[in-house]
Amino acid sequence: MVAIEEYQSDAENQWCPGCPNFGILSALKNALVKLAKKPEEICLVSGIGQAAKLPHYLRCNFFNGLHGRALPVATAIRVVNPELTTIVVTGDGDCYGEGGNHFMHTFRRNPDMTLIVHNNQIYGLTKGQASPTTELGDRTRLQFEGVKLAPLQPLALAILQGCPFVARGFAGDIPHLSDLFVEAIRFKGFSYVDVIQPCISWGTHPVSWYRERIYKLPPDYNPHQVDGALKKAIEWGDRIPIGILYHDDTPRHVFGDYFRAQIHDGTLTELGFPPRDALDELLEGFGASKLKNKR
Amino acid sequence: MAIGASYAGVRAMTATSGGGFALMVEGISLAGMTETPLVIVLGQRPAPATGLPTRTEQGDLLFAINAGHGEFSKLVFAPADPRDAFHKIIRAFNLADKYQSTAIILTDQFLADSYFTVEQFELDERENRLYLASPESITDYKRYQLTETGISPRLYPGQSAHLVCCDSDEHDEYGHITEDLKLRSRMVEKRLKKFELLRSEILPPEEKEFTEAKDVLMSWGSSRNAVFEAVDKLNGKGNKVGALHFTELWPLPVYQFPSEKQYYLVESNATGQLGRLLQSAFGLHVEGRITRYDGLPLDCAYIMEGFERWSR
Ligand SMILES: Cc1ncc(C[n+]2csc(CCOP(=O)(O)OP(=O)(O)O)c2C)c(N)n1
Ligand code: SF4
Ligand SMILES: [Mg+2]
């Protein structure tokens, strides 16, 4: 049992009052309570942006690194320490823009961790420029005449690239989002949740615009089929589905498992330094000593 | 990934070459700010850009020393040969851990791709440890605690109930983002302070035939054997030549250059980067330069010919 108060951080919150980011923070805390994870068993990894500040507001281990580059740091943490619940928290600009390359390749690696993207379809921290998910024609503080580039389809990309767990949530529906996070964190392999998070300061749509369109995937929706999942992933406009879009539970290689199986079945920090004679043996393996002995 | 692994509590190293290193320089700055130990092997080859990717050069010394935006401490070593590389990398790991800094090992295509026949290396390093704090002795853990030496207690996540919080933003002692500008200045000073102590551990250049020498060849990294051979051969022809060979280049070692000697650079680059470094740090006057940047390694004949041209 872990009480939600244990995640209470002393750091001063920098988000705009009323920002739906607070909903994501609550949902994540709820999920961690449900999973009974103690603060020291959690590691949050983030990049740069408003979303990426979240680790400061949830008491646990964290590594708040470079813009766009949370995924490789988190991947390594998870390989070293499979006991840490590793979660990347990032924004649409951070993850789909600057971090696009890491986003793509992490699906292929399939590390056992969770990616949460606060998708407000804008660069919030830098005051309202278009991000890769801002819609065609939307006007922003920088794109005065409307965005001229078609948006990226991150969920469809994830499904096509074989990400085994792809979900979309809504920051305005905390109970539903909490459940999604629980499922995602429990999943063995890479799980990805894109969270619709209206930005009330710079966003191109009010919260109500989203509320009117969002619906939950029905209970009879089958998340195991790629083509059906792709349809849901690109459904946007009049209706926007939330829930687990794609779920592939066929066993597959998890990044780091093979590596650990070779050297140590557990946390690599337990290994310590090899004893002296093991090192000498290793050196001898290079063959030099055999030559020496012959002389 | 190397930074993530190191943060998570194991030793981590990555190896790359010019372009790959340039691409990931932002990460060196991240390691500097988060004080995450990191070892990077940089195999130099002729640049700019893709240059002559199958040939050799020592063109990245100043780049490596200055790699990363902002001001922070780091180590740059350049091993002389495979044996030296073996010991230097152990030293680099130990110092990177102790000072929670990045250590860059500069090799080059010549050293990386040559075959050598060597006696078995002796493991003489006594000390091999991560320099971690002990969680039991800490009540209120601060990853970036301000200390006398600038070195803060290092723990890794999951090691104990203490939370390990790191930030690439300027941070307070706990690792949380801060805009406290007084604290910012203290954190800058803390990160640089480690460097002063580190400097006292840096080994001086290796001297050869130095005391008697009138002319001194100064070199670094993989050219040592060629330079030392040239010294012997030049002295055999009646010269009074010595050598000073650097393998620990940043921070620069504490060293006194005798003023009555004449110094020559022997470098596999066009601008004499070691010379520029020594001129700015020690005000050292360089008499002449033997440089090579056609992609081939420095060899004894090339060095002798170059020296004879200068001393004629
Ligand atoms: C390498 C680098 N490029 C650019 C920036 C400036 N920058 C900071 S946050 C940001 C965009 C963040 O957008 P998003 O991830 O959507 O976060 P939000 O603030 O909207 O939550 C940018 C471009 C930076 N910090 N580092
Ligand atoms: S800028 Fe937008 S996303 Fe960022 S805290 Fe403010 S409302 Fe939230
Ligand atoms: Mg955003």
Instruction: Report the CATH number at residue B38.
Output: 3.40.50.970
Are B289 and B146 members of one domain? no
Question: Per-residue pLDDT averaged across A69-97, rounded?
Answer: 98
Check CB contact under 8 Å for B4 and A273. no
Are B146 and B267 members of one domain? no
Contacts of B149 (CB under 8 A, 6+ apart): B193, B194, B197
Question: Coil, strand or helix: which one is B306?
Answer: helix
Check CB contact under 8 Å for B166 and A43. no
Strand segments, DSSP code E, in chain B are 13-17, 38-44, 74-77, 102-108, 165-167, 206-208, 215-220, 241-246, 248-250, 262-267, 288-291
Task: Give the model's pLDDT for residue A291.
Answer: 52
Question: Coil, strand or helix: which one is A129?
Answer: strand
Residue-wise pLDDT tens digits, B230-270: 999 999 999 999 999 999 999 999 999 999 999 999 999 99
Q: Which atom of ligand 1 is nearest to the CA of A48?
A: 9
> What is the residue with the minimal CA distance to atom 16 of ligand 1?
A93
Task: Give the model's pLDDT for residue A295.
Answer: 43
Task: For chain A, give the mean pLDDT.
Answer: 95
Question: Coil, strand or helix: which one is B291?
Answer: strand
Q: Which atom of ligand 1 is nearest to the CA of B26?
A: 1
- Strand pairing class (A240-247; A165-170): antiparallel
pLDDT of A265 over the 90 cut: no
Are B35 and B162 members of one domain? yes
ipTM above 0.90 for this complex: yes
User: Does A61 contact chain B (CB < 8 Å)?
Assistant: yes
Q: Which two tokens stand for residue A65?
A: 């690194």
Question: Per-residue pLDDT averaged across B104-129, rounded?
Answer: 88
Contact (Cβ atoms closer than 8 angstroms) between residue B203 and residue B60: no
Within a 10 A sphere around the Cβ of A185, how many other Cβ atoms? Answer: 22
The conformational region for residue A294 under phi > 0 = left, psi -120 to 50 = alpha, else beta, is alpha
Interface of A with B in 11-40 (CB under 8 A): 11, 14, 38-40
User: Does A116 contact chain B (CB < 8 Å)?
Assistant: no
Are B197 and B213 members of one domain? no
Task: Give the model's pLDDT for residue A294.
Answer: 47
Q: How confident is the model at residue A137 (pLDDT cuts 50, 70, 90)?
A: very high
Q: Choose the final residue of a domain: B152, B180, B201.
A: B201
Q: Choose the final residue of a domain: B175, B201, B227.
A: B201
Chain B residues whose CB is inside 8 A of the A58 CB are none
Task: Calculate what percentage of chain A has a pLDDT beyond 90.
Answer: 88
Question: Coil, strand or helix: which one is A249?
Answer: coil
Residue-wise pLDDT tens digits, B45-98: 999 999 999 999 999 999 999 999 999 989 999 999 999 999 999 999 999 999
Q: Which atom of ligand 1 is nearest to the CA of A202?
A: 20
Which residues form ligand 1's pocket by a CB distance below 6 Å? A 48-51, 67, 91-94, 98, 118, 120, 122-126, 131
Tell me the residue type at B175: G
Question: Per-residue pLDDT averaged across B96-107, rounded?
Answer: 98
Alpha-carbon distance A10 to nearest alpha carbon in chain B (angstroms):
9
Residue-range definition of the domain harbouring residue B293:
206-310
Q: Choose the final residue of a domain: B151, B185, B201.
A: B201
CA–CA separation, B231 and B224 (whole Å): 10
Written as one string, the DSSP assignment of B59-83 is: --HHHHHH-SSS---EEEE--SSHH
CA–CA separation, A153 and A161 (whole Å): 12
- Domain count for chain B: 2
Name the closest ligand to CA A14. 2
For A256-272, give one letter per residue: b (16+ CB within 10 A) or e. bbeebeeeeeebbbeee
Contact (Cβ atoms closer than 8 angstroms) between residue A75 and residue A111: yes
Check CB contact under 8 Å for B165 and A268. no
Are B145 and B126 members of one domain? yes
CA–CA separation, B109 and B34 (whole Å): 31
User: Does A81 contact chain B (CB < 8 Å)?
Assistant: yes
Are B256 and B283 members of one domain? yes
User: Does A292 contact chain B (CB < 8 Å)?
Assistant: yes
> What is the residue with the minimal CA distance to atom 4 of ligand 1?
A67
Residue-wise pLDDT tens digits, B172-193: 999 999 999 999 999 999 999 9
Are B134 and B181 members of one domain? yes
- Strand pairing class (B74-77; B248-250): antiparallel
Q: Which two tokens stand for residue B102?
A: 């990045």
Task: Give the model's pLDDT for residue A269.
Answer: 93
Question: Per-residue pLDDT averaged across A96-123, rounded?
Answer: 97
Best probe of the A interface among B6, B10, B123, by most A CBs < 10 A, is B10
Domains of chain A: 4-257 (3.40.50.970)
CA–CA separation, B11 and B8 (whole Å): 9
Are B243 and B306 members of one domain? yes
Are B67 and B192 members of one domain? yes
CATH number of the domain enclosing B218: 3.40.50.920
CA–CA separation, A251 and A247 (whole Å): 12
Q: How confident is the model at residue B126 (pLDDT cuts 50, 70, 90)?
A: low
Give yes or no for a cis peptide into A151 (omega within 30° of 0).
no
Task: For chain B, give the mean pLDDT.
Answer: 96
User: Does B168 contact chain A (CB < 8 Å)?
Assistant: yes
pLDDT of A293 over the 60 cut: no
The residue of chain B with its CA nearest to that of A279 is B123
- Strand pairing class (B215-220; B262-267): parallel
pTM over 0.80: yes
Give residue for tokens 């400061």: A56
Contact (Cβ atoms closer than 8 angstroms) between residue B175 and residue A58: no
User: Does A268 contact chain B (CB < 8 Å)?
Assistant: yes
Are B12 and B155 members of one domain? yes
CA–CA separation, A144 and A208 (whole Å): 23
CA–CA separation, B202 and B249 (whole Å): 8
Contact (Cβ atoms closer than 8 angstroms) between residue B221 and residue B247: yes
Task: Give the model's pLDDT for residue A290.
Answer: 54
User: Does B120 contact chain A (CB < 8 Å)?
Assistant: yes
Contact (Cβ atoms closer than 8 angstroms) between residue B253 and residue B202: yes
Distance from the CA of A107 to the center of ligand 3, in angstroms?
Answer: 21
Are B268 and B179 members of one domain? no
Alpha-carbon distance A218 to nearest alpha carbon in chain B (angstroms):
39
Are B257 and B170 members of one domain? no
Whether ligand 2 lies within 6 angstroms of the CB of A50 is answered as yes
Whether ligand 2 lies within 6 angstroms of the CB of A201 is answered as yes
